[in-house]
Amino acid sequence: MDQQMNQNCRYCEGNMLLHKNKRYCPFCKMYASSTVDEAKQIRPVRMMETHLTKPTPDLMKRSTYELLQLLALSRNELVEMELLLEQIIRLQERTELPETTVRTAVREEQKMARKVKAVETLLKQRLDFVPGIVTDDMLARYEERIYQEETAAAIL
């Protein structure tokens, strides 16, 4: 039997469960003691909406560049969800929109907010800061810096 804990997940800040005497986050779908092989190199790809549904352990395996892309994407998605939620609430006040529709919209918006928080936490661990705004120009500069560092290391 899983028990609710008073501790929060360090990635999404959701409630942890005690499962088999280990802390488990049902949102991130991972145990708190999970580690990632940081030596693994992953080629950057364009992050898409489908990556927003990936559990945190899968995101931990992605490159920092990909996480930056995902942060921009998830923040945009969260803003759109917040606007949609406002419209749904206004519509429910004027019509007989079922309460379940509002609850579903709230739940989805909260899930996206937790996903944004999880990605921000991963980036904070890697970069020691969370970028305020992620632009294409910033991504291009970051990619160029990584390329220069790899080239300099190869020369040595």
d(CA 38, CA 122): 12
pLDDT tens track for 32-59? 754 333 333 334 456 678 889 999 999 9
d(CA 108, CA 38): 31
115/72 same-domain check: yes
d(CA 72, CA 114): 14
Amino acid at 154: A
74/103 same-domain check: yes
105/66 same-domain check: yes
66/131 same-domain check: yes
98/57 same-domain check: yes
149/99 same-domain check: yes
Instruction: Return the DSSP state at 14.
Output: P
Amino acid at 2: D
15/52 same-domain check: no
Name beta bridge partners: 23. Answer: 18
d(CA 133, CA 121): 15
Range of the domain at 8: 1-34
61/29 same-domain check: no
What CA–CA distances, in Å, run from 86 to 11, 50, 91, 113, 130?
Answer: 27, 24, 9, 15, 27
51/82 same-domain check: yes
79/46 same-domain check: yes
pLDDT tens track for 67-121? 999 999 999 999 999 999 999 999 999 998 899 999 999 999 999 999 999 999 9
66/142 same-domain check: yes
